[in-house]
Structure 1
Amino acid sequence: MGADHTRPAPSAPPGVRRILVATVVPLFLITVVAALVLWPRQDREAADAPALPRYHGTVTRVVTVPCPPTPEAPEGSPGGSAGPCGTVTVAAEQGPDAGRQVETPVPSGPGAPRVEVGDEVILVELIDPADPAVKSYNIAEHQRGTPLVWLAVLFAVAIVAFGRWRGLAALGGLVASFAILLGFVLPGIGAGQPPLLVAIVGAALIMFVVLYLTHGVTAQTSVAVLGTLGSLVLTGVLGTLATAATHLTGFGSEDATTLSMFQGDVDLHGLLLAGIVIGSLGVLDDVTVTQAATVTELAHANPALSRRHLYRAATRVGRAHIASTVNTIVLAYAGASLPLLLLLVADSRPVSQILTSEFLAQEIVRSAVATLGLIAAVPLTTGLAAVVTTAGRRGTTEGPADPPAPRPPAGRDEALEALGGAPGQRAGGWPGGDRNTEAAW
């Protein structure tokens, strides 16, 4: 999540709290009702092909030999050797041959695991269709359970050690997010429900649970919730318009094409929009929580700031945050698409044709729509936070109502001397009441 402030936010006036409750609670109830309506009623039938039996084992011996030449190419030619070749002896730990040594061929081909003595691997049992009594084993992959468990433990310990109770709440929010994704969003899309609608409802559920669980039930959190929900809906609308304008079909990746073969009734265009919404949520709640907290902290530091001054100062923080977050979004998508980008480098077509192709245009639209929704979240959340924070004051729209008492001259001179200024000099570079630091930086 975004900002973490150990000092509790000042309590909002009772009238403001009632307005927030009257706004947030109906939205939450609508989200819950929509989730119940869209909840998958029955599980999708499993594929006809049965899953191959998989058993654990440990490599005890590896013997490699030169690969024989293929019939199509002479020995020593570039395509004459598939390599590596040989046998691997594995001590089976599960299955009908548990406790025995079984032999498998050395894994070969693109993506094949490289095995050594002592490696813990997963064996796949193959049955000869012509003679079910004849069976063999192949090594599918390494066992990764133990390293992943230790990595998850380190991850959880680091978060709790640094964040304490707030870190524990963040872990609870992470568990809730995956529970909603795996229990509602993915089964709902797989059951044929509209992917975009399922994604928005699922993202709203995640937002309500995670934000209130992590940051507490406060007016500041409610402002972040409203800002996030509004930005999510805007992101969905922009994504719909952008994909329609660019005529994207959703078949821009090999994964989507493979999915269409196994589940032909899945709306890949809607799945693309759902991915944009879900992907935007993680960055949106970071920005909205930060903006709401920034307004609250500014008002706490200087209660005399007006609503307009709070909005302007917090928006300047938001601009700096957006400037770094936009780069984060683009790099995140680029990192997930490195094989695609490398393929583009080897493509001999003109750049204009590459950029407008389905698979790259899809990534461009994804990044642009997520960024636009992110930018819209800053003024929306900041404006709501400024209104809520200054509610109940007098003179909050024109200027400070009660100027703060002047500090002792000696303390001010000492501070200026520590900053390198001359005693008696006004803090240079602070223009008026807005205290805009952009020019100074």
Structure 2
Amino acid sequence: MGADHTRPAPSAPPRVRRILVATVVPLFVLTVVATLLLWPRHTPEPARAADVPRYHGTVTRVVTEPCPAAAETPDGAPGGSAGPCGTVTVRAEQGPDAGREVSAPVPAGPGAPRVEVGDKIVLVELVDPADPATKSYNIAEHQRGTPLIWLAALFAVAIVAFGRWRGLAALGGLVASFAILLGFVLPGIGAGQPPLLVAIVGSALIMFVVLYLTHGISAQTSVAVLGTLGSLVLTGVLGTIATAATHLTGFGSEDATTLSMFQRDVDLHGLLLAGIIIGSLGVLDDVTVTQAATVTELAHANPGLSRLQLYRAATRVGRAHIASTVNTIVLAYAGASLPLLLLLVADSRAVSEILTSEFLAQEIVRSAVATLGLIAAVPLTTGLAALVTTAGRGGTAPGDGPPSRPPAEPDAALAALGTRRTGTDPGWTGPRRSTDTAW
């Protein structure tokens, strides 16, 4: 999460560091205290269904055969199985028949796995209720443990090889994020705590751990932390207002409906808000870290830039970042909801009726609120970073006037960056120089 900047940021003046410590440390302590108060102490036992024995096995033979003729149903629709039909021979690796070959029907139906000789599969043992001594096997799915382990190893190696120590820290932050989600956020919501409050506290805890672990303890990181925390709170407020205005209940998906059957006391409306908060966090910290680093790099490249000039220049970078991130958010939600979108295409209702339905309105609110939170993060973080970066400058007035101190030993690129162009490019001659292209 966040941007990577290998060159350490210049040290902030002692007074600025004291102000940041006096601001960030109490917020961290408050987050820890809230985590302890909301920590789930009486987690309800999960509802246990009848356990169906599952055993690993290897396919040794597949025999397909024509399916029996489909019988006609009373209404004229064809009945029976649509195939494929046949028998699969599996060498069981676990269970009472371990080491022996057992038979199972060829998997059929929507979503059924396709098996071939040599596939590692999972068998389920079915017992006839009328005769417990009679049992049979069905193929449930493929074994995915080994491919997932190799993919995770490739993922970790690639991150460490490219990011080195920073990549290793990013992996540690990822582990910490999942530990907080699985150890605090999900059990806390399952135990009946307010989902929105748990999500904000859990996200704040993730933010503190991940940002400081990945980017180090510095004034730049502290600015990103404050910008992220402020944007998270704003996102929560906007989400509460938007879901109340649109009268969303949280029952906008089949998963939510199924969850309400297993845990009747879960607050699905609060769970919707919690999902918006947690889903926004990953993009928020990317934006805030980038904005804080942009201000730091601009100030390092040209110390002559005033506070207002730093803010304007970094905000232009933020606009470009937000423009691409908005598309990223919408496409991410669309990619996760392709079955839903296909269902909408096949729906015969009016477009206005479809757009205002619960399950689609929920996705619209989720995308819009997350985007508003991101937009707010840019000026908030950029303003804080400009204040911190320019604080304590020698010979710098509190206003917008440029300091009299020139850049110290700039190289050619930095000199060009800090020099005004004249003549042929009038867009760079004024105090509000912009990198935005005129269309």
Q: Distance in 1 between matches of 2:409 and 2:131?
A: 93
Q: Is the 8 A contact 1:39 1:188 kept in 2?
A: yes
The answer to whether the 8 A contact 1:429-1:440 is kept is no
Matched with 2:154 is 154
CA distance in 2, matches of 1:397, 1:91: 79
* TM-superposed deviation, 1:48: 3.7
SS of the equivalent of 1:126 reads strand
Pair 1:142 & 2:142 matched = yes
Instruction: Name 1:243's counterpart in structure 2.
Output: 243
- Work out whether 1:308 is the aligned partner of 2:289: no
Q: Deviations over 1:398-435 (max 9, x none)?
A: 21111527999xx89x989xxxxx9x957653132332
Secondary structure at the counterpart of residue 47 of structure 2: coil
The match for 2:390 is 390
> What amino acid does structure 2 have at the position aligned with 1:381?
T
Aligned partner of 2:431 in structure 1 is: 433
Distance 1:46 1:30 in 2: 31
Name which of 373, 388, 401 aligns with 1:399. Answer: 401
Change (3 A) 1:356 1:220: same
**1-side partners of 2:409 and 2:112: how far apart?**
71
**Cα offsets for 1:153-185 (capped at 9, x unmatched):** 111111111101000000100111111111111
Separation in 2, partners of 1:407, 1:182: 51
Secondary structure at the counterpart of residue 99 of structure 2: coil
Unaligned runs of 5+ in 2: none
Determine the C-alpha separation between the residues in 2 that align with 1:434 and 1:213. 37
1:226 partnered with 2:203: no
Q: Alignment partner of 2:131: what SS? A: coil
Q: Is the contact made by 1:56 and 1:123 (CA closer than 8 Å) also made in structure 2? A: yes
Distance 2:277 2:334 in 1: 18
1:212-262 alpha-carbon deviations (Å, 9 max, x no partner): 000000000000000000000100110010000000000111111111111
CA contact (8 A) 1:73 1:80 kept: no
Pairing 1:133–2:133 present: yes
Amino acid at match of 1:404: P
Identity among equivalent pairs (%): 84
Q: What corresponds to 2:204 in structure 1?
A: 204
Match of 1:350 in 2: 350
8 Å CA contact 1:287, 1:377 repeated in 2: yes
**1:44, CA displacement in angstroms?**
1.9
Does residue 59 (structure 1) correspond to residue 27 (structure 2)? The answer is no
- Whether 1:50 aligns to 2:46 is no
Equivalent pair of 2:303/2:407 in contact (CA under 8 Å): no
Alpha-carbon deviation of 1:73? 4.2
- CA deviations over 1:333-368 (Å, ceiling 9, x no partner): 000000000000011111000000000000000000
**CA distance in 2 between partners of 1:305 and 1:392 (Å):** 14
Whole-Å Cα distance in 1 between the matches of residues 325 and 41 of structure 2?
39
Provide the residue aligned with 1:108 in structure 2: 108
What residue identity is the alignment partner of 2:203?
A
Report the equivalent of 2:6: 6
Q: Which amino acid aligns with 2:284?
A: L
Aligned to 1:292, what secondary structure does the other structure show?
helix
Which residue in the other structure is 1:333 paired with?
A: 333
CA distance in 1, matches of 2:204, 2:188: 15
TM superposition score normalised by structure 1: 0.93
Letter in 1 for 2:111: G
What CA distance in whole angstroms lies between the structure 2 residues aligned with 1:166 and 1:81?
A: 55
One-letter code aligned to 2:136: S
Distance (Å, rounded) in 1 between the aligned partners of 2:91 and 2:426: 75
How big is the shift at 1:43? 3.0
CA distance in structure 2 between the aligned counterparts of 1:406 and 1:253, rounded to whole angstroms: 59
Pairing 1:362–2:400 present: no
The verdict on how the C-alpha distance between 1:138 and 1:304 changes in structure 2, with shifts beyond 3 A counting, is: same
1:373-420 residue CA offsets vs partner (Å, 9 max, x unmatched):
000000000000000011112214221111527999xx89x989xxxx
Residue deviations 1:130-154 (CA, integer Å, cap 9, x gap): 2222221111100001111111111
Structure 2 equivalent of residue 419 of structure 1: none
**Which AA in structure 2 matches 1:68?**
P
Which SS does the other structure have where 1:402 is aligned? coil
Deviation at 1:306, TM superposition (A): 0.8
Residues 306, 396 of structure 1: 8 Å contact kept = no
- TM-score norm. by structure 2 comes to 0.94
SS of aligned partner of 2:141: strand
Residue 324 of structure 2: aligned partner: 324
Deviation by residue 1:186-216 (Cα, 9 ceiling, x = unmatched) = 1111111111111111111110000000000
CA-CA distance at 1:300 after TM superposition: 0.5
SS in 1 for 2:241: helix
Contact 2:304 2:406 in 1 (8 A): yes
| SS of residue matched to 1:160 | helix
Asked if residue 260 in structure 1 is aligned to residue 260 in structure 2, the reply is yes
3-state SS of 1:40 partner: coil
Runs of at least 4 residues off by over 4 Å:
76-80, 405-408, 424-428
User: SS of 1:434's equivalent?
Assistant: coil
* 8 Å CA contact retained: 2:70, 2:78: no
* 1:175 equivalent in structure 2: 175
In structure 1, the gaps of 5 or more residues are 417-421
Letter in 2 for 1:174: L
Aligned residue in 2 for 1:118: 118
Cα distance change on mapping 1:132 and 1:78 into 2, 3 Å: closer
Whether the aligned pair in 1 keeps the contact of 2:55 and 2:94 (CA below 8 Å) is yes
RMSD between aligned alpha carbons?
2.3
**Cα contact 1:306–1:395 (8 A) shared by 2:** no
Out of 429-438 and 135-144, give the one that drifted further.
429-438
Whole-Å Cα distance in 1 between the matches of residues 320 and 427 of structure 2?
19
State how far apart, in whole Å, the 2-side matches of 1:286 and 1:274 are: 19
The residue identity in structure 1 corresponding to 2:374 is L
Spell out, residue by residue over 1:106-152, the C-alpha distance to the aligned partner (whole angstroms, 9 max, x if none): 11111110111110001111122222222211111000011111111
Displacement after TM superposition at 1:80 (Å)? 4.8
User: CA–CA distance in 2 between the matches of 1:351 and 1:405?
Assistant: 59
